[in-house]
Amino acid sequence: MIPKVFKEVIDLGDGREISIETGKLAKQAHGSVVVQSGKCMLLCTVVSNYKQSDVDFLPLTVDYREKFAAAGRYPGGFFKREARPSDGEVLTMRLVDRVLRPLFPKDYHAETQVMIQLMSHDPEVMPDAMAGLAASAAIQLSDFPFECAISEVRVGRLNGKFIINPSLSQLAECDIDMVIGASADSVMMVEGEMDEISEEEMTEAIKFAHEAIKVQCAAQIRLAEAFGKKEVREYEPEREDEELAKKIHDMAYDKVYAVAKAGSAKHERSASFSEIKDEITASFTEEEQADFGSLISKYYYKAEKAAVRDLTLNEGLRLDGRKTTDIRPIWCEVDYLPSTHGSAIFTRGETQALATVTLGTSRDANQIDMPSQEGEERFYLHYNFPPFSTGEARPIRGTSRREVGHGNLAQRALKGMVPEDCPYTVRVVSEVLESNGSSSMATVCSGTMALMDAGVQLKKPVSGIAMGLISDAATGKYAVLSDILGDEDHLGDMDFKVTGTADGITACQMDIKVKGLSYEILVNALKQARDGRLHILEKLTDTIAAPNADVKEHSPKMITRRIPNEFIGALIGPGGKVIQEMQKETETTIVINEDPVTEEGIVEILGVGNEGINAVMAKIDALLFKPEVGSVYEVKVIKMLDFGAVVEYIDAPGNEVLLHVSELAWERTENVSDVVNMGDVFDVKYFGIDPRTRKEKVSRKALLPKPEGFKERPPRDDKRRDDRRGNDRNRDRDRKPRRD
């Protein structure tokens, strides 16, 4: 029996379409769709348990995987099986999770899984741009309690024109690459990189993307109605007690307000808040505490949040005593670590990041091996967030999704400022040592200084800042906060990170927690962020004004040399013997790549000392040496023969040529040793290829004065010689057979 299929088509307006289909695959899931554009197909399934979990949060798992079979490829590795997700897959998971999670009810705690798989790949379609659409469409077909349909699109700008979901080849030429997540009413998530654009240009890109998202949300609703909209499931909500909530609010509000207004440091403030909470808890009897359970804590934190937000809205003050536009004190230092190729410390308030830079060859590039994307990164950044940075002790189980996401944001902020002709592979590592506020933006700042300290010739320095928002829909009041604290991130309505140079924005990441954020507020936040970025940028350039002119003495120096394709084999040698011996003798690293366009060999020579690099360059020069006809060269005798001497060019060791005995001197030479000996150095003239011997000809005597009265022997008569040879052959032909 062929299942009934329901389908909706979204017109992207330029001949491309996206279809959403359900009813054919994975029917036991609570919702499933196949999203297709071109040959690219994503299967998304969603399942949520009917029983609430014993946790006070939503245990939501968003999993995105790209199957290698989708691109007709085998997975790498010994087992030839997809294993842990790549960084690219993790980044896509985060993009989807950040939009979905706020739309579930706060008291919905059932285990929920959203699984998205790339089943068929099209090189002209980037699948991550459709993952949010697939997830939301599948949820619309389920009975989950979910607020509204959402979608995500990628927006690029090519030659001044915005494009929805550009191809990978188009994106390489775009000056904007942003992924926007939104419902039909509100923008909820923005992430991307830009080529120093203005705040107004960024806002226009978000508006353009939002219009496309509205169309995609409408298509999901039509599909759900055609399929048969399910009744929203019933679940056991969290216990509520309005009387208790009011009582705790009245007990806590004024005390919290007073502590918040005092402008204390993080640990002192936390201790004061804990005392207030303990005092309130102690005011209840043991029976009441057992009866109300976690409600006391829940309502206390609700009162604390209200008091802190009101302080900012009413008086323009913040938890640490700053005004809304104030930036915390900053101090910086470069060249802190003596053995690294570059290092810098950036400290802003209670947030500190130590960045290091390592310089290497193309062999050290970060390899990207995904079904949807292959290649390498010559500049990449890794971000580490150890538990001690927040004064905690917890297990460390590999790199977290948060670390991957924050590192990628900082990488995108900086990579556009690394010059295209930088010969090195550059790795930046950020170690977050303290955190109370945006450590990813601290990473951008420390990374900028570390790169300049390492001698990487950045086009322009980059700084970053995290912005927040506190708003009250009832009164219309709002406050945009510069350089937010960790607490302000949790209790605020927006977390907006923006990076850039003095001339424009290079990257951003925004999560909005309230519906209907106006573009007016967004523009104001961007402009306030620009003032903060420029203030921080001034602190960076006060510490290190420009990139160091050269790399450090102990850092590797890099020289790149191009050689004709036919010389690559000679430089490598049989089984790599020549290049391996060269690296060992000169204490250098030599990497040879082939230019895919010109097919030339690109030789990278990396070494700490110039002597080794110069020795390799000399060997390459010798390999490429081609003497010119009529030129004079200094040579050295390296071998004596009966009919001449083998000489080596002094300027091109390894290049040998035969100096025939007849070219040693004007006088007749009986023995070669009568004129030259082993190790003798003298000049010879190069005559090119001798037409008679078809070998290279050099002469010593051509540079010597001709002896007085010397008579040259007349040249041989080639015709007489040929006739003589012919007569000899005829005689052989006429000779009678010998009798045995």
| CA 544-548-551 angle, 5° bins | 135
Q: What is the DSSP letter of 174?
A: -
Residue 383 contacts residue 440 (beta carbons within 8 Å)? yes
CA–CA separation, 249 and 486 (whole Å): 23
As given in the structure block, the two tokens for residue 87 are 């960084």
Checking DSSP bridges between strand 425-434 and strand 379-384, what pairing results, if any?
A: parallel
Residue 261 contacts residue 311 (beta carbons within 8 Å)? yes
CA–CA separation, 113 and 155 (whole Å): 28
Q: What is the DSSP letter of 702?
A: G
Residue 425 contacts residue 376 (beta carbons within 8 Å)? no
Describe the strand order of the beta sheet including 150-158 as a list of residue ranges.
161-164, 150-158, 176-183, 187-197, 504-512, 494-501, 463-471, 478-482
| CA 234-236-238 angle, 5° bins | 135
CA–CA separation, 532 and 530 (whole Å): 5
As given in the structure block, the two tokens for residue 34 are 């196949």
Length of the chain: 740
User: Which among 73, 196, 83 has a CA at the least distance from the CA of 123?
Assistant: 73
Residue 44 contacts residue 116 (beta carbons within 8 Å)? yes
User: Which among 548, 536, 327 has a CA at the least distance from the CA of 444?
Assistant: 536
CA–CA separation, 676 and 664 (whole Å): 8
Q: Is 489 annotated as a binding residue?
A: yes
CA–CA separation, 91 and 397 (whole Å): 18
Strand, coil or helix: 601: strand
Q: Where are the beta strands (DSSP E) in 56-95?
A: 60-66
Q: Where are the beta strands (DSSP E) in 445-549?
A: 463-471, 478-482, 494-501, 504-512
Chain-centroid distance of CA 118 in Å reads: 22
CA–CA separation, 606 and 609 (whole Å): 9
Residue 42 contacts residue 137 (beta carbons within 8 Å)? no
CA–CA separation, 357 and 453 (whole Å): 9
Strand, coil or helix: 52: strand
Chain-centroid distance of CA 670 in Å reads: 71
Number of H helices and number of E strands within the chain?
Answer: 16, 29
Angle between helix 519-543 and 199-227 (nearest 10): 130
As given in the structure block, the two tokens for residue 466 are 């995290």
Residue 680 contacts residue 665 (beta carbons within 8 Å)? no
Q: Which residues of 682-707 are buried (b: 16+ CB within 10 A; e: fewer)?
A: eebbbeeeeeeeeeebbbbbbeeeee
User: Which among 417, 419, 441, 420 has a CA at the least distance from the CA of 430?
Assistant: 441
CA–CA separation, 603 and 619 (whole Å): 12
As given in the structure block, the two tokens for residue 231 are 């009744």
Q: Is 642 annotated as a binding residue?
A: no
In the annotated binding site, the residues are 489, 495
In the annotated binding site for Mg(2+), the residues are 489, 495
